[in-house]
Amino acid sequence: MRFKENNYNKIFVGISNFIRTICGGDRLKRIIEIIEKLLKETSKESNKKIRILDFGCGSMEISKKLQNKKYIKQIVGSDIFKHKFRTKKMVYLENDKLFKSKKKFDIIFVVDVLHHIGVEEAHKIIKKLYKHSNKIIVKDHFEHGLLSRSLLRFVDFYANYGYGVNVPDKYFDKKMWKKTILKSKSKELFRKENFQQHDGLFNIILNKKHHFVSIIKADE
C-alpha cells in the first residue's frame, strides 16, 4: 500500500520476506491472537459489533486478517501517508483527517508505531487518540541498555527498509513507559512483558524481553 516502488526495494523486500518465512519471522501471528481476544471481549462487554481504529496501520496487514470476524463492524486504518483504500469493512484515513474528525471507536490498536513517533512524543499522540476512544491496545518495544537498543534499531531498519519509515534513536524502557502513562493521563489495565513475537532465528535475535503489550485507558 505504501511501499516505495523501485527495483532495489522490490528485490530487498522479496529476499527479506523469504528469510522471514523460513526463519520464524512472522511478527503478526501472536499479536493478532492477543488483539483478537481483546476485541472479542470488547464486543461481548458492549453486546454489539465494534468499530476499531488501527492507528499507524501501515499496509493494514493486521486489519486485513481481522476484518472478517463477525463481531467487527468497521476498521479504520490511519497513517501518515496519502492513500485511497476501502474494502467492505475497512477504510483508510490519513491521520491529520482523523484528528480533525469526531470519529469514535470502541477500541484502538497501535502496533509497533509509538517508537517511530518518538518515545518523548508518544504521550501527545495517546492524548489525541483518547478523543476517539478511551481504550487503546499498545504493542511496542522495551530496550535494555545500549546493545539492546542497537539490536532494535538494526531490526527496525531491516523490517522497514523500502517503506520510508524512520529508524528511532531510542525505545521505551519501563521507566519511560511509566512516564508516558502518567503524561498521557492514562491508567494501565493490563501489561504483558516478555511477549514472544517471533519464532526461530528471529526470536533468538530479538527475544521476548524486547516486546510488550499494554492496554491503557483514559484516567478521567
Ligand X SMILES: C[S@@+](CC[C@H](N)C(=O)[O-])C[C@H]1O[C@@H](n2cnc3c(N)ncnc32)[C@H](O)[C@@H]1O
Q: What is the C-alpha separation between 205 and 44, in angstroms, rounded?
A: 38
Q: Which of 50, 62, 129, 206 binds ligand X (CB under 6 A)?
A: 62
165 touches ligand X (CB under 6 A): yes
Q: Which stretch binds ligand X (CB under 6 A): 85-93, 111-119, 187-195, 211-219?
A: 111-119
CA–CA gap between residue 219 and residue 161 (Å, rounded): 37
- Of 43 and 56, which CB lies nearer to ligand X in the complex structure? 56
Among 74, 95, 203, 207, contact with ligand X (rule: CB under 6 A):
95
Residue 46 or 150: the one with the smaller Cβ distance to ligand X is 150
> In this complex, which beta carbon is closest to ligand X, that of residue 106 or of residue 112?
112
Site for ligand X contains 57 (CB under 6 A): yes
Start-to-end CA span in the chain (Å): 37
Q: Cell numbers for 20, please give them.
A: 522471514
77 lies in the site for ligand X, by CB under 6 A = no
Identify the bridge partners of residue 195 per DSSP, sorted by sequence position.
Answer: none
58 contributes a contact to ligand X by CB under 6 A: yes
Of residues 45 and 157, the one with the C-beta less far from ligand X: 157
56: left (phi over 0), alpha (psi -120 to 50) or beta: left
- Integer-rounded Cα Rg, in Å, for the chain is 17
Using CB under 6 A as the binding rule, whether residue 26 contacts ligand X is answered as no
Of residues 50, 79, 119, 136, which one binds ligand X by CB under 6 A?
A: 79
Alpha-carbon distance of 101 to 114, in angstroms, equals: 21
Segment near ligand X (CB under 6 A), from 86-94, 108-116, 175-183, 195-203? 108-116
Residue 51: CB partners within 8 Å, gap ≥ 6? 73, 74, 75, 76, 104, 105, 106
Hey, is 5 helix, strand or coil?
coil
Interface ranges with ligand X (CB under 6 A): 56-58, 61-62, 79-80, 95, 111-113, 116-117, 160, 165
